[in-house]
Amino acid sequence: MTAGRTPDHSPCVALFDLDGTLTWHDTLRLFLAGYAARHPACLLRLWQLAPAFLVYANRGRDHGRLKSRVIRALLGGVRRAELDVYVESFVLTLLPRRRFRAAALATLEAHRAAGDHLVLLSASPDLYVPRIGRLLGFERTICTELTWQGDRLDGALKTQNRRGEEKLRCLEELRAQYPNTAIVAYGNSAEDLVHMSRADRAILVNGSAAARRAAAQAGIPVADWT
């Protein structure tokens, strides 16, 4: 497959996952760990996570609910201005420390050069993902949105967790917004295959053995990005 081109050379929508696809590591873990390192007092609230993990394990393994509980435990009540300062410093550390995969950035640039529409679709939260999207020059960013109480972070989910079937719903919305435009999707997990299987073309990158087997069954090629 030639990145960024349909057979008639028309622009496509290049839909990129973030964690594990563009980046080497999970960005939410990096974000929370970095904040805790700067504000160790928030670690005193980690006791709240024990019941959250119990609920996750025993009530359907709801990733969105767990994500919200972790964010609320560490960041709940923090003012927007304080978070904005940290977000800026966090995002700017990603590229110098080579948190992004070189092959992923090269693929992104190939799509940009081809005139394709660049869309970032991530389950990670809107605390920082839109800033990453702007840093990398994405046309649009779609990610999990959180609620605020005035200027203080609440942390409850404002949208559905952008994962699995929710990513598929987002893909179908993109089809309506970019009519008659092919969608090329990149993701790294078995959950990403839900929406990738409905794209016009897709590549599973850096997938686990189980994800690769599932991709093979769905007829989706695989690649390793370093």
Query: Residue 64 domain-assigned?
Result: yes
Calpha distance 145→68 (Å, rounded): 10
Classify residue 8: in a domain, yes or no: no
pLDDT category of residue 97 using cuts at 50, 70 and 90: low
* 148 assigned to some structural domain: yes
Q: What is the average pLDDT across 180-189?
A: 98
Dihedral pair phi/psi, residue 105, rounded to 5°? -65, -35
Q: Look at residue 144 and tell me if it is in a domain.
A: yes
Q: Is the pLDDT of residue 191 over 70?
A: yes
pLDDT bucket at 54, cuts 50 / 70 / 90: confident
| Contact in structure between 162 and 142 (CB atoms under 8 Å) | yes
Q: Which residue has the higher pLDDT, 54 or 78?
A: 78
What is the domain extent for residue 67? Answer: 13-223
The answer, yes or no, to whether residue 5 has pLDDT greater than 70, is: no
More confident of the two residues 51 and 136:
136
Domains identified in the chain, total number: 1
Residue 5 lies in a domain: no
Q: Is residue 1 part of a domain?
A: no
Residue 7 lies in a domain: no
User: Would you say 90 and 31 are in contact if contact means Cβ atoms under 8 Å apart?
Assistant: yes
The string of pLDDT tens digits covering residues 105-150 is 999 999 999 999 999 999 999 999 999 999 999 999 999 999 999 9
Confidence tier at 51 by pLDDT (50, 70, 90): confident
Residue 184 belongs to some domain of the structure: yes
Q: Is the pLDDT at 2 greater than 50, yes or no?
A: no
CA 53/CA 59 separation, integer angstroms = 10
Q: Higher confidence at residue 40 or residue 56?
A: 40
Contact 124, 99 (CB under 8 A): no
CATH number of the domain encompassing residue 66: 3.40.50.1000
What confidence score (pLDDT) does residue 50 get? 76
Averaged over 161-178, what is the pLDDT? 97
The beta strands (E) that lie in the chain are given as 13-16, 117-125, 140-144, 146-149, 152-157, 183-187, 201-205, 222-223
So what's the pLDDT on residue 1? 39
